[in-house]
Structure 1
Amino acid sequence: MTRRPLGSGGCLPPTLRMGTADVAYHLATRGRPLPLAFVFAFEGRAPTLDAVRARVAERAHRIPALRYRIARDRPEFRRVDGFAVEQHVHEVWLPEDADEAEAARLMLARPMNLGRRPPWDVWLVHGPDGGHSLCYRSDHAVQDGVGAAHTARDLLDDHPQDGPPAYDPSWPTGRGLAGALGDAVGGFRAPTAKPAVDGTSSGRTALCRAHTPLARLRAIGGAQGGTVNDVYLAALSHAVHTWHMKATGTLHPPLPVAIPMSVRLPGEECAPGNRMVTARFLLPCDEPSAHRALARVVAATARLRASRRRDAVHLLVAATPRALGARLGTRMVNGDVVAGPASGVNFGTALVHQGIASRSAAVFSDVASGIRLLTTLTSQHDTSCFTVVHDATLATADELPELWLAALLELERA
């Protein structure tokens, strides 16, 4: 199914209905913006702020996701005509002692626009070592990670092309529908035991990350009949296993996470709203072997694909009244039911800005709704970035990136 891009007729509608996931995010955050950021790291001479503003001023009015804000009095997006580029595009210098992840942390720490402008911004961040980052940021209630990837590409790339693939819908199987209904019912169960991450949220977050060649993940997955995403989830499982064992000397039970899945159709690449659904997934953290964890992940994701769980959840959401579906969404993805989202986005070819190709990309969001741990894997060209956003009270969670890399090393030693 192909749709004409929003606004292709020459005019954007004055209002758009918010989707179920959009309303769920808005409810979960009580109307406060939840930062969703895409950070591109560069080496070499940084562009000027004026040059970045000129690029944004030239393109932003043609990108639908950047033309809408959330209405204050009803669940809809309202078009905003015209914008002042200096209110959306900013510049900042990091301190001399900043590490390579500081630009990403800044995107979580800086408050977002709460006025009547569309809730997005672009930051030119100068690093202490001569490098720089370009950061695109939006409110998660207005855009998901795949939408942010397409928007960042169209807004900042010298020659926009490529990006995450569009959703190709199919009819779900009975098993897929049963699984989708099971996830919905699971939101009303008693809280799930997650000893590594359970606790009271402090409202303060921290961020850490690690990079690795994308070819490495592909090689591990290919040897085991799995995908890059399978390898990411298996290594995460083993990292949590090792992290918890080190702290307590005990096995961690399987860890429930929410796996976001894009349902963004062709023609919707830069449309506002969250075109995504989620599935509950158990990370096999009880496995002492990374190889066994990968085998279990590969088998579980194969079952999800065979049952067309993504299509089943999409169908179920479409058949549920929006207000009810949004309430269900907040029950299915919160700190009582899951540890948090475990997202993956393949950005595609490297973003090129002013003739310089970015060396890495990372997409992530802040946490909400009692969630204390969120992970993402962002792939760009030949590099993948594993990012962990966690509640500041999980003091040793900054060990997870190194433990994730160690799990990859174990998986390579077949």
Structure 2
Amino acid sequence: MTGSAALLRGIDLAAFAVALVTRARRAGVDVSASGAARFTEALRVLPPTDRRRLYWTARVSLVGRHSDIERFDAVFAAVFDDAVLALDPAARASVSNTSRTRADGRSGDGGASAGPRRRAAPPWATLDDAAAPVPDRSADDGATAVTLRLPSPLEAIADEPFGQLRDDDLRLLGRWLEQTEPNWPRRPSRRREPHRHGRVDLRATIRRARGTGFEPVRLVRCRPRERPRRIVLLCDVSRSMHGYADVYVHLMRAAVVRGNAEVFAFSTHLTRLTPVLAHRSADVAVARASERVVDRFGGTHIAGSLAALLSSPHGSALRGAVVIVASDGWDSDEPADLARAVARIRRRAHRVVWLNPRAAAPGFEPAAGPMAAALPHCDHFLSAHTIATLGEMLTTVARSAGVARARDSGEG
């Protein structure tokens, strides 16, 4: 082949890129959300003249991890090993029908059996339907895995456990969290703002009708103005949370800087970190927070720390807030005390979210006494042990915060 027209003559480059990305994701290649767009642009700027150039254009545009190269090579070989480059719809349909009945018995996907990763149904229950068993869609051949939209340096470590991140990765993660303001939960306020899909604003409509003989020729509509919902984040910094507490400190700082938040750290006792983490420098804020928490990597008293928050002047911040407790649930206090404290918090809060980084371990069950006692009073029980699951947690919290639920009467 001597020209680009001979290789991709009459081909819709966008459809070609999307088809190859879909096949790669089915084989387990972690292609970013912008991978298809980058590949399409690369094909337009530098049209491939042979298979080798097409391979390197696709690999540079779509593969971001060294561990995915072998899977990508298998997909590319399965698509382009044949002499005929069937890319138009008619030829693609005929080749797909014959590829399923190849003599060696392999499928047209190059024998790659690793499909898109799916979250298994958790063996526990919380108050929200989000913890219900996830239906098995493994038989859906048309399903496409959509990856989390992250800055390119974070894509390579999106699935790395927090305990394996370096200091540079933590700084990059902190900057990314500070830019997630649209994902923080919001609530409707009493003030209203003009909006074309809202309800009719009678006062504004009548005021405008004064210029048309008091005939409401044009209706004025409005809706409640949204404000940031308060977030109360409590992070366990005991010895059992070593390796995860540093990441959750960056999460607390992002909540303070970008949202309406109150943040606390606890081990043997409760420490308020809201004014410390409000510093404009992330490095200074994290360093001062480490100096402020004198009981870091010590024992754990979750029930006593939550009870101290409820009885303190800052306990009023829990009303109508999204309360996030980041802890593995290993507590020295009695499980009954923890259950009473979490139940009281739930009666004040809008949502209670428990982050347990050990929940992602294979075969994990919240069988420990404190964790099992607190779980029935939580709306969500999430792992948040990697950057990808942390982004899912932010999305879950933002969506659930806008859904009103029945309030328990009274406060203990």
More RCO (CA 8 Å, sep 6+):
1
User: Structure 2 length as normaliser, TM-score?
Assistant: 0.27
User: Structure 1 length as normaliser, TM-score?
Assistant: 0.27
In terms of fraction of residues, the more strand-rich structure is 1
Larger Rg: 2
